[in-house]
Structure formats: C-alpha cells, structure tokens
C-alpha cells in the first residue's frame, strides 16, 4: 500500500446523515481514484481508473447495487 501512503482522503458531504456508513476518496498521482471505509482507514482500499470510477460513481448515484 506504499503508493497510497500520504494521500489526502476526503468524505462526501452526503455522508453526514447515514449513521457513520461513509467512504473516503483520494486521487493518486498515478491517475487512480482510491476508495476506503472511513471506519477502517487501515483496511482494504479499492482503486479505480478514471473510466471505471465514473461508471462506479454513476451506479452509486443511481442507487444500483
């Protein structure tokens, strides 16, 4: 996880009212978007390329599983 050390993680403003079930997102220097569980910052991290991130975010916004 060396390439993910030192990233600036941010939480969506929409995450405030869902009982702590939040994700954090960071953009890496290798054109990748990293996603992690805000309750487990040392836990697993998903990494998406730009197109995959756009598809993933669109599905989340649409409420798809």
Instruction: Please give the Cα distance from 25 to 42 (Å, whole number).
Output: 14
Asked if 10 and 25 touch (Cβ cutoff 8 Å), the reply is yes
Q: Which has the higher per-residue pLDDT, 19 or 59?
A: 59
Asked if 5 and 49 touch (Cβ cutoff 8 Å), the reply is no
pLDDT tens-digit series, residues 1-49: 456 678 899 987 666 665 667 889 998 878 899 999 888 888 999 999 9
Q: What pLDDT is stored for residue 33 in this prediction?
A: 92
Give pTM, 2 decimals.
0.73
What SS3 class is residue 58? helix
Closest CA to 64 of 55, 33, 17: 55
């Amino acid at each position: 996880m060396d390439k993910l050390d030192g990233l600036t993680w941010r939480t969506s403003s929409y995450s405030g009212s869902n009982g702590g079930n939040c994700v954090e997102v960071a953009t890496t220097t290798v054109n990748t978007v990293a996603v992690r569980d805000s309750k487990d910052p040392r836990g697993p991290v998903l990494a998406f390329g730009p197109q995959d991130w756009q598809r993933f975010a669109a599905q989340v916004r649409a409420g798809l599983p």
